[in-house]
Structure 1
Amino acid sequence: MVTLCAAAALAAPLGAASAAPATEPEPQRHRTGGPVLPDCQGRPEVRPGAYLLACGDGNSRLDSLRWSRWDARAAVAQGVNVVNDCVPYCAAGTFRSYPVTVRLEAPAGDRGAGEPRFTRISVTYTDGRPAGAPRTVSYPLPG
C-alpha cells in the first residue's frame, strides 16, 4: 500500500494542486536566459526554489532547490523531494524529505509565447528514497 501511494504521488506531475503545505518563495516568472520550467498551471518559472511534482494531490514536491546550472540545454539543482508516505493512508500520511539532484532537459519551443520550455524532469535520490521508488525517476513536463 505504501509503495502504491508513493508511486502514485511520484507519477502524478499534472493537474491542480490541493493539499501540499506551501511555504516556498515566489519563483521568478520572467525569462533570464535559457528555457523555462512550466509549473502545474503551465506558467513559466526560472530557477524556482520549490516545484510541485504531484499537481493533482500535492503529495510530492521539490523544495530547497539550489540551481548550479540553467542554460539552453539543461538545468541542474540540489534539493529535497518532500513526499507523503501515505501511512496509514494518504490523507493521514506523513511528509518525508529525501535529498535529490534534479535535472531539467529536452528544451522545446513553446507555440504560444515562443520561449523554449524544458520538457523532461529527472529526480535522482542521493540518500534514501520513498519505498518502492527507483533511484532515478523521470517525468514529461507540461508544455
Structure 2
Amino acid sequence: MYKHTMVGLVTVCAAALLAPAVGTSSAAPATVKAAPVAQRRPAVPVLVDCLWHPEVRPADFVLACGDGNSRLASLRWTNWDANSATATGVNWVNDCKPYCAAGKFHSYPVVVRLDNAQTWKRHPGVRQYGRISLTYTAGRPDSFAHVVTYPLWN
C-alpha cells in the first residue's frame, strides 16, 4: 500500500509542476506579434589601462606599467571609432640617467594612433584596441625611432 501511495504522490506532484509549462491551447493568445529586433551598433573599442580599466578618450595613459617611466599626457582625441583612434599629446619619458630612479622626465610631442581592435579576453563582450603607435613630431628620446609601435596588453 505504501508503495502505491508514494507512486501516486510523485505522479501528482510531477503533473502539478508540468501543468504551467505545458498549458493549454486555449490559454495561448490568438495572435502573437514578434517584437521588433533592436539594431545594435557595435560599441567602440576601449583602451585598457594598467589596472585593467577600460577607457574611452583618456586624457592621459601610462605606457610603462611596471615602472611608470613612459606615459602619455594632455591627450586631445580627434577620432575614436570602431577601426582606430587618433590624438595629439605629450610623451613623458624618463631618461634613466644615470639610472631610472635618478633620471629626469622629458616631454616629447606625439601623435598617437590606436588600432587593431580585437575582443578583450577579460571581457569577451568588449572590444579593445590592440596596438598603439607614437609618431614623434619634434624631438624624441635617445634611440627611439620617429614612429614607435607597441602591442597593447590583452
- C-alpha distance in 2 between matches for 1:83 and 1:110: 28
Say whether 1:85 aligns with 2:74: no
1:114 to 111, 115, 125: 125
Say whether 1:58 aligns with 2:72: no
* Matching residue of 2:107: 97
Say whether 1:43 aligns with 2:39: no
Quote the sequence identity (%).
58
Higher RCO, 1 or 2 (CA under 8 Å, sep at least 6)? 1
- C-alpha distance in 1 between matches for 2:119 and 2:61: 21
- C-alpha distance in 2 between matches for 1:110 and 1:84: 30
Contact 1:98 1:129 in 2 (8 A): yes
- C-alpha distance in 1 between matches for 2:147 and 2:88: 14
Say whether 1:34 aligns with 2:65: no
State the superposition RMSD in angstroms: 1.0
- C-alpha distance in 2 between matches for 1:89 and 1:118: 32
User: TM-score, length-normalised on structure 2?
Assistant: 0.70
Contact 1:42 1:142 in 2 (8 A): no
Post-superposition, which runs of at least 4 consecutive aligned residues in structure 1 deviate over 4 A? Answer: none
* Matching residue of 1:126: 137
- C-alpha distance in 2 between matches for 1:90 and 1:117: 31
- C-alpha distance in 2 between matches for 1:52 and 1:109: 21
Q: Secondary structure at the match of 2:125?
A: coil
User: TM-score, length-normalised on structure 1?
Assistant: 0.75
- C-alpha distance in 1 between matches for 2:73 and 2:44: 21
Number of residue pairs the alignment of both structures matches: 111
Q: 1:113 deviation in Å?
A: 4.3
Instruction: Map Cα deviations across residues 81-130 of structure 1 (whole Å, 9 max, x no partner).
Output: 00001112111111000000000001012242411100000011000000
Task: Write 1 or 2 for the structure with the bigger share of helix.
Answer: 2
- C-alpha distance in 1 between matches for 2:141 and 2:52: 27
- C-alpha distance in 2 between matches for 1:84 and 1:37: 23
Larger Rg: 2
